[in-house]
């Protein structure tokens, strides 16, 4: 006997699955809407300003209008001086597998030289971010415990550069790390524009105990 | 009786604004979400730095139910209580914390590959 669907208003199964899917979609679209809405607003604003909002009235220029005027004329006449170049010398990190449980980062020292950084500093950052242990072997290669893709190394290196190498004001890559002797603070000093900013020391964070319990006594 | 009048504290608390600002921007207590590898494709997600006032057990229970994974609260000597979850739950955890209102987006730092 086939059970006829009684229309008592208690249609459970179809609405149950429907609700679940709708819920997820709603959440996603809400976030997406908010993001796209914000992006639209951002896009619309500069376009509005291009039409010279000050033309009609007699008022003084606003600071943001002056800024955008300066940068637009600068970009048109002297694109190099606008100084928005990043460090485009990023070498591709080469990683090899050593056995099944280790990954070898071959280019570490070369990349450190391009960034004008100490390999130890970069190594501490890498190990803290990956959450594993590792060491520099005889050939100056970094051997890390675990299996990692080259893309993950690239991501971590990019984060390192954004935080510890690139100057915030001129986006240049000629920076040095200086330790302030009196306060034990670490500063990042830029050679191109001379600005200094403080950076946090690399802390290892919580490392959960993975592995065998019997190995430790 | 007239002596008591100037001693009655006024309703205006000069430190209220400073305290509110301090907890908002000054103290900069980050919540770190990290990931570690286990054998094979398995991984561990670690959440460290949540405020001590929260009931970690309740948060953990909600997280476990939400993401269908196992987890535990580990007591660390220096870093306090740390939430450990199975699997790569970094994005899930961060969106959960933001939506629940436990942490603000600026205070979350995601580490790892």
CB contact under 8 A, B34 and A205: yes
CB contact under 8 A, A206 and B76: yes
CA distances from A216 to A21, A166, A213, B96 (A): 48, 42, 6, 36
Per-residue tokens: A104: 């070898």
Phi-psi region of B39 (alpha: psi -120 to 50; beta: other; left: phi over 0): beta
Chain A within 8 Å of B34 (Cβ-Cβ)?
Answer: yes
Q: What is the pLDDT of residue A42?
A: 43
- Comparing A8-17, A139-148, B5-14, the range with the smallest average pLDDT is A8-17
For the segment B35-80, what is each residue's pLDDT rounded down to a tens digit?
998 888 899 999 998 888 899 999 999 999 999 999 999 988 888 8
Of B82, B112, B113, the CB nearest to A206: B82
State the average pLDDT over residues A183-199.
85
Query: If you search the block for the tokens 């939430």, which residue do you land on?
Result: B83
Percent of chain A residues topping a pLDDT of 90: 3
Closest residue of chain B to A130, computed from CA coordinates: B112
User: How many CB atoms are located within 10 Å of the residue B64 CB?
Assistant: 16
Whether the Cβ atoms of residue A171 and residue A86 lie closer than 8 Å to each other: yes
CB contact under 8 A, B44 and A149: no
Comparing C-alpha atoms, which of A215, A193, A53, A132 is closest to residue B113? A132
* pLDDT tier, A113 (very low <50, low <70, confident <90, very high otherwise): confident
Residue B37, H or E segment: strand B31-37
Chain A within 8 Å of B80 (Cβ-Cβ)?
Answer: no
DSSP letters of A122-147? HHHHHHHHHTS-EEE-TTS-EEEES-
For the segment A59-111, what is each residue's pLDDT rounded down to a tens digit?
788 888 888 888 888 777 776 665 555 666 778 888 888 888 899 988 888 88
Which among B35, B36, B40, B89 is the top mutation candidate for probing chain A, defined by the most A β-carbons within 10 Å of its own β-carbon?
Answer: B36
Whether the Cβ atoms of residue A90 and residue A110 lie closer than 8 Å to each other: no
CB contact under 8 A, B46 and A210: no
Residues 6+ apart with CB under 8 A from A77: none
State the Cα–Cα distance between residues B20 and B23, nearest whole angstrom: 5
State the Cα–Cα distance between residues B52 and B93, nearest whole angstrom: 18
Looking at this predicted complex, what is its ipTM?
0.72
CB pairs under 8 A between A and B: 48
Q: What is the pLDDT of residue A86?
A: 61
Q: Which residues of A touch B112 (CB under 8 A)?
A: 129-131
Per-residue tokens: A47: 């376009």
Of A128, A155, A208, the CB nearest to B44: A208
CB contact under 8 A, A205 and B48: yes
Mean pLDDT over the full length of chain A: 74
State the average pLDDT over residues A14-32.
52
| Pairing mode, strands B43-48 and B80-86 | antiparallel
Torsion sign, CA atoms B77, B82, B87, B89? negative
Chain A within 8 Å of B72 (Cβ-Cβ)?
Answer: no
CA distances from A161 to A21, A91, A104, A121, A187 (A): 41, 13, 21, 12, 15
- Comparing A22-36, A72-86, B13-27, B88-102, the range with the smallest average pLDDT is A22-36
The predicted model scores a pTM of: 0.66
CB contact under 8 A, B44 and A206: no
State the Cα–Cα distance between residues A198 and A102, nearest whole angstrom: 35
Closest residue of chain A to B45, computed from CA coordinates: A208
* pLDDT tier, B88 (very low <50, low <70, confident <90, very high otherwise): very high
State the Cα–Cα distance between residues A109 and A140, nearest whole angstrom: 7
Report the length, in residues, of chain B.
113
Q: Which residues of A touch B111 (CB under 8 A)?
A: 128-129, 131, 205
* Rg of chain A on CA atoms, in Å: 27
Q: Please give the sequence-ordered ranges of beta strands (E in DSSP) within chain A, or none if there are none.
A: 95-98, 102-105, 134-136, 142-145, 175-180, 185-190, 196-199
Nearest chain A CA: its distance from B32 CA (Å): 8
């Amino acid at each position: 006997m086939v059970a006829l669907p009684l229309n008592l208003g208690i249609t459970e199964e179809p609405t149950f699955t429907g609700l679940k899917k709708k819920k997820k979609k709603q959440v996603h679209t809400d976030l997406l809407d908010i993001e796209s809405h914000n992006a639209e607003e951002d896009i619309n604003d500069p376009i509005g300003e291009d039409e010279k909002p000050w033309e009609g009235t007699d008022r003084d220029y606003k600071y943001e209008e002056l800024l955008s005027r300066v940068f637009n004329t600068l970009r048109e006449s002297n694109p190099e001086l606008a100084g928005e170049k990043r460090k485009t010398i990023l070498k591709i990190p080469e990683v090899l597998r050593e056995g099944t449980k280790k990954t070898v980062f071959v280019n570490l020292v070369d990349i450190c030289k391009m960034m004008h950084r100490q390999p130890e500093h970069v190594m501490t950052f890498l190990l803290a971010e990956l959450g594993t242990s590792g060491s520099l072997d005889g050939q100056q290669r970094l051997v890390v415990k675990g299996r990692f893709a080259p893309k993950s190394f690239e991501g971590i290196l990019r984060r390192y550069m954004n935080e510890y190498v690139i100057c915030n004001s001129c986006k240049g890559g000629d920076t040095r790390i200086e330790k302030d002797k009196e306060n034990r603070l670490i500063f990042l000093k830029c050679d191109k524009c001379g600005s200094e900013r403080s950076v946090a020391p690399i802390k290892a964070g919580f490392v959960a105990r993975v592995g065998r319990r019997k190995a430790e006594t | 009786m007239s002596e008591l009048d100037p001693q009655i504290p006024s309703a205006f608390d000069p430190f209220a604004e400073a305290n509110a600002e301090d907890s908002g921007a000054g103290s900069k207590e980050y919540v770190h979400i990290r990931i570690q590898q286990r054998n094979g494709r398995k991984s561990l997600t670690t959440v460290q730095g949540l405020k001590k006032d929260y009931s970690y057990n309740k948060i953990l229970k909600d997280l476990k139910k939400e993401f269908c994974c196992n987890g535990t609260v580990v007591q660390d000597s220096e870093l306090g209580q740390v939430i450990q979850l199975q699997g790569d739950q970094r994005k899930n955890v961060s969106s959960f914390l933001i939506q629940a209102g436990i942490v603000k987006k600026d205070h979350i730092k995601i580490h790892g590959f």
